[in-house]
Amino acid sequence: MDQGITQRKKIQRAKLDPKLYAKTATYASVGEGIVRCESLVHLSILQAETSSFRLLLSKDVSLLDV
């Protein structure tokens, strides 16, 4: 009886940096002394995984709602 030798190696996965793609759409309306902008940001994770992300706004921008 032929007995074969079986070896199993654990495959190491390469550690990849997350890659994200952001698609944005902005609607702006002008009123008396004010410009109101509404932006929609759609994020897609293309590679790896991420536990968080950050959106940066200028200091002169007021965030009203999320």
Report pTM: 0.56
> What is the DSSP code (8-state) at residue 51?
S
Tell me the C-alpha to C-alpha distance, in Å, between residue 54 and each of 19, 30, 46, 50: 13, 28, 16, 11
Tell me the C-alpha to C-alpha distance, in Å, between residue 57 and each of 4, 10, 18: 63, 44, 22
Q: What is the pLDDT of residues 18-49, one digit of tens each?
A: 899 999 999 999 999 988 889 898 999 998 88
pLDDT for 6 beyond 80 = no
Q: Are 65 and 39 spatial neighbours (Cβ–Cβ below 8 Å)?
A: no
Task: Tell me the mean pLDDT in the region 8-23.
Answer: 82
Half-sphere exposure of 9 (CA within 13 A, CB side): 3
Residues of the chain with pLDDT > 70: what percent? 91
